[in-house]
Chain A
Amino acid sequence: DTEVTQTPKHLVMGMTNKKSLKCEQHMGHRAMYWYKQKAKKPPELMFVYSYEKLSINESVPSRFSPECPNSSLLNLHLHALQPEDSALYLCASSQMTGYQPQHFGDGTRLSIL
């Protein structure tokens, strides 16, 4: 078990559904991240929050919408996803951005039907 908790662990949804992935950490970290990892590929950065402010990754489609309600929580809202969005979605946190190791949660394995 890691100190970064992600729920749900598995999610199957249709292309018209709306769902949310959740991530929580209580290490006092002020930077939180979303990564996407396809099978047999390395994680790819999607979004970064630093002190609850978003750094936008412009290559991420708008059907993914991040939200940081407070310094401990990070959500990823999903709407109208495509089958190619099926992947492991990893959340990570670090004390701050830069020069700090990121600690990952176990991920949410997402399947789009």
Chain B
Amino acid sequence: EDKVVQSPLSLVVHEGDTVTLNCSYEVTNFRSLLWYKQEKKAPTFLFMLTSSGIEKKSGRLSSILDKKELFSILNITATQTGDSAIYLCAVDFSGGGADGLTFGKGTHLIIQP
């Protein structure tokens, strides 16, 4: 049973559009939720969210967490072709066998010129 669910799994938009990516989770002992961007190689870190309602922002990207409803969104405004990538949501929670990240399946975002 998936603990971290992302939607949509794929999304195609045109340059300049705004996109919203969703991530819901169901874990106990939640510690943080992280967003990563993965192109061909390493996932690159975007945001880490630990508190509800506090927006994190970096340029055209922003993200917010709702710990009551157990979800997060990642917004990208004025999209560019360089934003094309897989966006991974991951949850860090304590317990279980080890302290690592549990990832969702990712959203494959394609920005068309």
Interface, chain A (partner B; CB < 8 A): 2, 4, 31, 33, 35, 41-45, 47-48, 50, 55-59, 90, 97-107
A44 neighbours in B (Cβ, 8 Å): 103
Does the CB pair B34–A102 fall under 8 Å?
yes
C-alpha gap A45/B94 in the complex (Å): 14
Give the interface SS of chain B, mostly helix, strand, loop or mixed: strand
Give the interface SS of chain A, mostly helix, strand, loop or mixed: loop
Does the CB pair B102–A45 fall under 8 Å?
yes
Does the CB pair A106–B99 fall under 8 Å?
no
Interface, chain B (partner A; CB < 8 A): 31-32, 34, 36, 41-45, 48, 50, 88, 90, 92, 94, 97-106
C-alpha gap A106/B48 in the complex (Å): 20
Does the CB pair A101–B99 fall under 8 Å?
no
Does the CB pair A99–B32 fall under 8 Å?
yes
Most buried by A among B48, B92, B102, B106: B92
Does the CB pair B99–A55 fall under 8 Å?
yes
Residue on A nearest B94 in the bound complex, by CB: A98
Does the CB pair A103–B45 fall under 8 Å?
yes
Can you pick out 16 interface pairs between chain A and chain B where the beta carbons lie within 8 Å of each other? A41-B105, A42-B105, A43-B43, A48-B99, A48-B100, A55-B97, A56-B97, A57-B98, A57-B100, A90-B43, A99-B50, A100-B48, A101-B45, A103-B45, A104-B42, A107-B41
Does the CB pair A48–B98 fall under 8 Å?
yes
